[in-house]
Amino acid sequence: MERSLSMELVRVTEAAALSSARWMGRGRKEEADDAATSAMRDVFDTIPMKGTVVIGEGEMDEAPMLYIGEKLGNGYGPRVDVAVDPLEGTNIVAQGTWNALAVIAIADHSRMLHAPDMYMDKIAVGPEAVGKIDINASVSENLKAVAEAKNKDVEDVVAVVLNRERHQRIIEEIREAGARIKLIPDGDVAAAINTAFDHTGVDILFGKGGAPEGVLAAVALKCLGGEIQGKLIPSNDEELYRCQSMGIEDIDKVLYMDDFCGGEDAIFAATGVTDGELLQGVQFKGQKATTQTVVMRAKSGTVRFIDGDHSLKKKPNLVIKP
């Protein structure tokens, strides 16, 4: 995997963020997602790689572009698996709230999990707590392990959880343990990544979310030295069959980092669409717009934060008509 791809991927997420940010607070999540997807797909044609989408917008008959199996890149360069979420947090953008991202991850060919679109139980932490968590252990046991690893009291640990009825028991257990909770409306990719950065104030992620988002979070945490564990949760026979077709016969199998993303190298990039703890969202300032992106590479351990200034002249695709 070529080093130059890191900066190329920044162009991809920046384009998606700039296009979707125009829809912030307008209550139209599908239009926001379409804008991000179209912009991301256009830039992919210029990227020097031979990519195959393994996590995308859906199956070929469900999505017009960035569908699973689609070939991306200009046909030159390394052969890679590609995971994309052009707009991680469509509802966030529609409502104008926090932590929407444009996200892409690539890894060595055939080394990224082809996760089906279903729920996954997840637990994620940053580097200090690697090797200390266990998805099969209780919430309180994991909180104590993280507190010990980070040299703090359980009462000072912050757990992030999607604010969903299905997580009520987890929320109760966190409260019973005495830890603090940050409930989020959407965006568990951003939440998982935040566990690896001290200034976000997040220590651990719990709960059920999308399996594809779990793969994206895993690539980021691989680059950051963190950890995620997951268990697929099929809700019907069709989803069960999809697990089996992926080679997962044991549904109770715990997925570890190497299951999500094997190999030595991977690259992850995310651009803020709306403001968040980690990244500032897109801001439009007269004839220019600003973006903030994080890009990281597993092989080198490099993490870069990139502030971009973008001219809005000669960019009619960024203008929305009522």
Q: What does each C-alpha distance from 5 to 11, 79, 113, 256, 265 come to in angstroms?
A: 10, 12, 21, 26, 12
Report whether 89 belongs to an annotated binding site.
yes
Contacts of 146 (CB under 8 A, 6+ apart): 125, 129, 132, 133, 157, 203, 204
Contacts of 95 (CB under 8 A, 6+ apart): 25, 27, 185
Contacts of 293 (CB under 8 A, 6+ apart): 10, 13, 14, 17, 269, 270, 271, 272, 279, 305, 306, 308
Report whether 88 belongs to an annotated binding site.
yes
Report whether 265 belongs to an annotated binding site.
no
Q: DSSP state, 17?
A: H
Report whether 90 belongs to an annotated binding site.
yes
Report residue 304 CA to chain centroid gap: 17
Report whether 119 belongs to an annotated binding site.
yes
CB 63 within 8 A of CB 57: yes
Report whether 3 belongs to an annotated binding site.
no
What end-to-end distance do the CA atoms of the chain give, in Å? Answer: 43
Separation between Cα atoms, residue 80 and residue 65, nearest integer Å: 18
3-state secondary structure of 199: helix
How many other β-carbons are positioned within 10 Å of the β-carbon of residue 100?
34
Report whether 41 belongs to an annotated binding site.
no
Separation between Cα atoms, residue 50 and residue 78, nearest integer Å: 6
Provide the total of helices (H) and of strands (E) in the chain, helices listed first: 9, 13
Report whether 187 belongs to an annotated binding site.
yes
Report whether 22 belongs to an annotated binding site.
no
Report whether 188 belongs to an annotated binding site.
yes
Report whether 238 belongs to an annotated binding site.
no
Residue ranges of the annotated binding site for Mn(2+) are 33, 57, 85, 88, 213
Residue ranges of the annotated binding site for substrate are 88-90, 119, 164-166, 186-188, 210
Residue ranges of the annotated binding site are 33, 57, 85, 88-90, 119, 164-166, 186-188, 210, 213
